[in-house]
A = this chain, B = another copy of it.
Amino acid sequence: MSFYPPLKRFLLGRTLPTSAHAEERLSIAAALAVLSSDALSSVAYATEEILLVLILAGSSPLGLSVPIAIAIMILLAIVVLSYRQTIRAYPQGGGSYIVARENLGIYPGLVAGGSLMIDYILTVTVSISAGTAALTSLVPALLPFTVSLCLIFIFLLTIANLRGVKESGKIFMIPTYTFIVSIFVLIAFGLFKQATGHISTNYPSIPVKEGLSLFFILRAFSAGCTALTGVEAISDGVLAFKEPEWKNARLTLMYLGVILGLMFIGITYLSHIYHIIPTEGETLVSQLGREIFGDGLFHGFLQVVTLLILLLAANTSYADFPRLCYFLARDGFLPRQLALLGDRLVYSNGIILLSLCAAILVVIFKGQVNAVIPLYAVGVFTSFTLSQAGMVRRWFREKSSGWLASALMNGLGAIATAVVLGVIISTKFLLGAWLVVVAVPMLVALFFTIRRHYQYVAESISLKGMPPRGYLPRSKPAVVTHPAVVVVGQLNRGTVEALDYARTIADEIVAVHVDIGSTDKERLQEEWLHLERDIPLEIIESPYRSVIEPIIKFVSEFEERHQGVFTTVIIPALVPHNWWESFLHNQTVLFLKTALRAKKSRVVTTVRYYL
């Protein structure tokens, strides 16, 4: 990053020394806020996505949302119990990439890694889109600016994360717990109103677009499975807990499971008894809030809190994605730049990459949650399955105390998530899941291409067997010549300086000038003889007005005549005061350097003349 320094300092704060790198340890309450916002916030859209599928078959199957939600809760319980085993086995933090790589091998590891990369990007897209939907439900006038709002939120998250959000624990707790309390208050009041008989109207009549089938119900189930994304975050971040880390992490995971389950089933049941249907322009939670509390303060409060927890949910990807990229880059599967700590001790390049990808998806899908949902959850269930399968393998290999129960639990988890993954892919394939199914193998292929390149480079430049250089005699042997070619555009102060430099390093110098038809050759030769008569000047005619090609040809021939020594190609460059002024000069220097690289010239020297 080399943008305007004062602006950078204003946005990102001052640069931090490496020694400032330290991790804050989190209490259970803080960890639940920091690590679970992604999972908890899915309550804001998961029920709506189920209903959006069911409604295609009219109003009659809408009641199926409740059993579907119960099925998803059972799946959640299995996943939570399964991940408890992972936490015990990986008290240092067991992300899916690491667990799958260690226990299943490199391919499954990279598939898990690639899947997770895609899912982290989608988490940002979905959470930001859902948060914006919460806001536009409250202020419908903002609806036309959906995409712009999404991009603004992404920009703010980017800046916050480039600064580094170290003070996070406490800041995260307020919106997370407020959201949890708000949702429970909503559920309690909603149930109370039902019990006291204040129940609203029936479903309006809805046109039936598709017949009810098992496939159809499974599609609704798949849409709801997005509620499980983010559950793995706690097992990734075990090291962030206070001691005893893995015990606290397991406890937090249990709390998360219970809270998420209750909120999800509560919202789904309320939507059913209040006969809420998904509406364009207002989220389901917003409709519930208005239905139960009226158009007043609590509804507004609920929307703002929903927006905030969804921003936090997106924010968790800003911790997970750059960390995953760091692991992959460290192992040579991603460009090395992703493993560099930035000015503020965060993986800046990973953060920027995540923001760019998420922003592109927001623009493509116009900030609509339900447009992105078919892509979502494919990645996370792939990594669930691989991670749990890896754990099964591990238990069988290690056979530590209590291994059989753990293996059974992880096996159940692996099978359940594998089945769901199959359901998700088959029901949402044509709706967009195919994109992920295609993208993951492409990513894995890219990982291998990148590693192959790094390995090739490392071998090419290895010094194995290279003899010591320092024993060369310091005085230069008399037979070696030091040839140099000086490229001359005009004869001016810049050129004179380059020729002066050439005299100090070379003993065979030739200057070359290309005439594209605009050179006054006689005058140039005359001036040359006056000023630089000790260096021969070659003028090359260029009837096709190309400057670069004749020079390249000349240099190539010159280098061929001087094999075994370094030929220095000297290019004088005028440096203007300001960057914009360089647009007013031909970019010949740049083109020439690029062309010399293509011709494998070894030594290119720029002699700069500052205006």
Q: Contact between B17 and A453 (Cβ–Cβ < 8 Å)?
A: no
Assuming the A-B contacts A472-B503, A574-B457, are A463 and B606 also in contact, with contact meaning beta carbons closer than 8 angstroms in the complex? no
Bound CA–CA A463/B492 (angstroms):
6
Q: Contact between B600 and A603 (Cβ–Cβ < 8 Å)?
A: no
Q: A568-B605, A605-B606 are in contact. List 5 more A-B contacts (CB 8 A).
A: A18-B517, A505-B506, A593-B606, A602-B607, A603-B607
Interface of chain A residues 328 through 345 with chain B (CB within 8 A)? 335-337, 340-341, 343
Asked if A198 is at the interface (CB within 8 A of a chain B CB), the reply is: no
Bound CA–CA A543/B16 (angstroms):
9
Could you show 8 A-B contacts with beta carbons less than 8 Å apart?
A460-B611, A461-B574, A463-B496, A470-B534, A474-B507, A482-B505, A497-B602, A601-B608
Bound CA–CA A130/B17 (angstroms):
62
Interface of chain A residues 456 through 494 with chain B (CB within 8 A)? 456-457, 460-463, 466, 468-472, 474, 476, 480, 482, 490-494
Asked if A60 is at the interface (CB within 8 A of a chain B CB), the reply is: no
Q: Contact between B600 and A2 (Cβ–Cβ < 8 Å)?
A: no
Number of copies: 2
Assuming the A-B contacts A470-B532, A605-B605, A608-B597, are A584 and B335 also in contact, with contact meaning beta carbons closer than 8 angstroms in the complex? yes
Q: How far is the CB of A192 from chain B (nearest CB, A)?
A: 53
Q: Contact between A531 and B574 (Cβ–Cβ < 8 Å)?
A: no
Residues of B within 8 A of A336 (CB): 584-586
Closest to A337 in B: B586
Instruction: From the candidates B476, B491, B544, B606, name the one contacting A16 in the complex (CB within 8 A).
Output: B544
Q: Contact between B470 and A531 (Cβ–Cβ < 8 Å)?
A: yes
Bound CA–CA A245/B146 (angstroms):
62
Bound CA–CA A543/B603 (angstroms):
33
Q: Contact between A606 and B603 (Cβ–Cβ < 8 Å)?
A: yes
Closest to A450 in B: B584
Bound CA–CA A340/B482 (angstroms):
36
Instruction: From the candidates B468, B482, B499, B604, name the one contacting A504 in the complex (CB within 8 A).
Output: B482
Asked if A201 is at the interface (CB within 8 A of a chain B CB), the reply is: no
Assuming the A-B contacts A18-B543, A496-B463, A603-B605, are A470 and B533 also in contact, with contact meaning beta carbons closer than 8 angstroms in the complex? yes
Residues of B within 8 A of A506 (CB): 505
Bound CA–CA A450/B450 (angstroms):
45
Asked if A448 is at the interface (CB within 8 A of a chain B CB), the reply is: no
Residues of B within 8 A of A594 (CB): 2
Q: How far is the CB of A460 from chain B (nearest CB, A)?
A: 5
Bound CA–CA A507/B566 (angstroms):
16
Closest to A490 in B: B461
Closest to A566 in B: B501
Asked if A576 is at the interface (CB within 8 A of a chain B CB), the reply is: yes
Q: Contact between A460 and B493 (Cβ–Cβ < 8 Å)?
A: yes
Q: How far is the CB of A19 from chain B (nearest CB, A)?
A: 7
Bound CA–CA A508/B359 (angstroms):
52
Residues of B within 8 A of A429 (CB): none
Instruction: From the candidates B16, B461, B494, B532, name the one contacting A492 in the complex (CB within 8 A).
Output: B461
